[in-house]
Amino acid sequence: MTTAKFLFTISTILLCSCSKKVKVFKINDDVVHLTLTLFDDSTFVEDVHEIEASYEYSGIWTGSLSEDSLFTTTRTRSRFEILTLTPKNTYKVKNGEAVPIIEK
């Protein structure tokens, strides 16, 4: 493990341990199993498990978690890599679950 990866891992552990989980959403379909953990400092960790691969993303989230409201996640990291493109995903809270909003 390189020094940069080691320092990133330690800093991530420290930052996550200082923040409290606000909400954990699990989204599953036939192909993807996603766990989205939101923290009170507006950061998130997203674990994506597909049939043949797994990914971990992190970034920031904005919006509200109340019923029928929307929140958006912006991915800024993929494990140890900083993303140059920052994909955004929008979700609607429905019956206490996060429902992805698919843009057409």
pLDDT attached to residue 30: 86
Task: Please provide the size of the chain in residues.
Answer: 104
- DSSP one-letter code for 98: E
How many domains does the chain fold into? 1
Q: Cα separation of 103 and 22, whole Å?
A: 26
Q: How many helices (H) and strands (E) does the chain have?
A: 1, 8
Evaluate if pTM is beyond 0.85.
no
**pLDDT tens digits in sequence order for the chain, 104 residues long:** 577 666 666 666 555 556 688 899 999 988 899 999 999 999 999 999 998 999 999 999 999 999 999 999 999 999 889 999 999 999 999 999 999 998 76
Note whether 34 and 48 are within 8 A (CB). Answer: yes
pLDDT attached to residue 8: 64
pLDDT attached to residue 17: 54
Residue 49 sits in which domain range?
Answer: 3-101
